[in-house]
Structure formats: structure tokens, C-alpha cells
Structure 1
Amino acid sequence: MFTRQIVRSMVLGAALFAAGAAAALEPAEGEVLLTVTGAIAHTNADGAAQFDLALLEGFETVAIETTTIWTEGVQVFEGVELADLLAAVGAEGATLRAIALNDYAVDIPVADAVEGGPIIAFLRNGETMSLREKGPLWVIYPFDSNPEYQTEQIYARSIWQLDRIEVQP
């Protein structure tokens, strides 16, 4: 019997093969929420990979139940694992420069992008997030599942109102 990870790897591999064969990702048709640039192999817009909500929802979504230092009580965040997004764009760098709508920026090591690690959340408690609610995209780590995620360094990487990611060598 296949495990979730084996099946997931097969699906991602097939998606990457298809993306590589087509030399591009599907284009964003709605409002672009996230643009990924830099050291990437797969694009869908002039040297960039752009994602609208529908494209993000097309990934296998993951839910994280966790508390945060910015919210009250346990929250349920849903989104795409950072590792899956990086695989889909063929990221070939060591650092991600994550930039918010207000141009606030943080560096996230690509090494953080592991299964069970951070997600790019587009839902909080089943609802899309407005700008006022730190949306539409928020990098969320599973803070409650691992004490290593409960540090100032990790909290600083949990950028909200995420707008773009630059994959750097």
C-alpha cells in the first residue's frame, strides 16, 4: 500500500514533468496573489511564476492547527506547503526573500521548506484573509507541533500579506 508521501511524490513528479514538458505553469487567470522570481526553472509569466487563488488551491492543501503570537486561541490555517510550491517552480536557490505588500521583507532558508514545515496559508479558520486579517497570504509554521518553531527567528519568518518571493542562490 502506498503511503501519503509516496503518492504525493508521484503526483508532484508528474506535475513537474508536465510543467517541464510544457516549459511553463498554467497561467493565472484571476487576481495574482503571489509572484515567484529569481532562480526558478518553471514560469507562467515573463520570467516569473504567478499564482492566483485558484492555482494555489490546485496544490494539495495542508491544514495546520496552531496558536500564534499574533492571534487568540488555536487557529486553523490552510494552504500549500512551501516545499510543494518551490518544487512546482523548480526553485534552485538557498534563500527565499519573502516580501509583503508593504515591501517588508524577510529571508527564509530553503532548508525550512520541508514536509510538515511552513505553508503559504490562504485560509484561516475556513475563510480567506483580508489585508486587515494579515492576508491574503501568510507564511505559517506549525508552531505548536515543534518547539524549534517557537523562536524569534522563526516568528520573524512568518511574514503576512505575502506578495512575492525571490529565490536567491
Structure 2
Amino acid sequence: MNESQPRWLNAKERAAWLALLSTTTLLPGAVETSLQKIGQLSLFDYNVLAMLSETPSRTLPMSELAARTSASLSRLSHVAKKLQLRGLVERSTHADDARVTAATITDAGLSLINELAPLHVETVRELIFDRLDAQDVADLARISRKIVHGLDNSHWILRTPAP
């Protein structure tokens, strides 16, 4: 094949690409609507709080939190500052390494995430999982992990066992 020629998508690949692109474009706004209305949180804000709430210590180094939220440290730092001003997150020097900044979800942040979680999971269920059967869910997880691996083969989600 001539390297100067594009590898055009065939009809099935194009249909799959456009469906994926539409999904990734429409889904965040649809999920975020209820979070904004009730908690005045973006989907990313919610994800930051959720990742912190799921750790036993409610604390993560900022670098690990950035990895778990698929964000740059600068984006996460900006959002953490905003959440800190709202009293939802605290930032401090990490207990084990003074060079590391850690983020901790506050009691107010935990209370907000606990209030929003049932609404969030119901929204996700209605928008995605109520439309899929068990095989679709397994396929979605498998395909998504393959795509993530191609984008970032050290992404934290790949370190968690596939269901």
C-alpha cells in the first residue's frame, strides 16, 4: 500500500466511528445535567469527588487522582482549588512524602457525593445500561478497555481486573 494514501474507513467502520463519536459527545452533557441542577457539579467535579470517596482514607495523591480522572495535573489542580473553595475537598502535603500534594474529600464533599450518587447511578442506568443486555455490557467493557489501552497502555483502569 502506498503510504501517502489514507486508510479510509469502510462503511461499517465509519458507522461505528460516528456512533462512538456521537456517544462521547452527547453522553457527558446528558449525565451532567442532573449533577449541575442538584449539586452544581460538572461531571468531572463529580468524578473527582467519587474517586476520593471510594478510597479507604478518602485521600489520594494529586498525581493518582489525575490518573483516575484521566486529567492533566493542571486541570485537576484548577478543579481541586474550586472544590476546596466550596469546602468539598482539602489539599495538603502527603503524609508519606512532603513533595507530594494530596487531596482529601471533606465531610461536606462526602455528604454531597452520597446525596448525588443515587441520582447519578440512575441517570447512568437509564442512559446506558437499561438499553443493553448482559452480552452488550460485557462487549462494551471489553471494547472500551481495548480503546483505552491504545490511548494509554498504563491507564489505571487497565490495572483493575476486568469483570
- Same fold (TM > 0.5): no
Structure number having the greater helix percentage: 2
Task: Between the two structures, name the one with larger relative contact order (CA 8 Å, sep ≥ 6).
Answer: 1
More strand by share: 1
- Scaled by the length of structure 1, the TM-score of the pair is 0.26
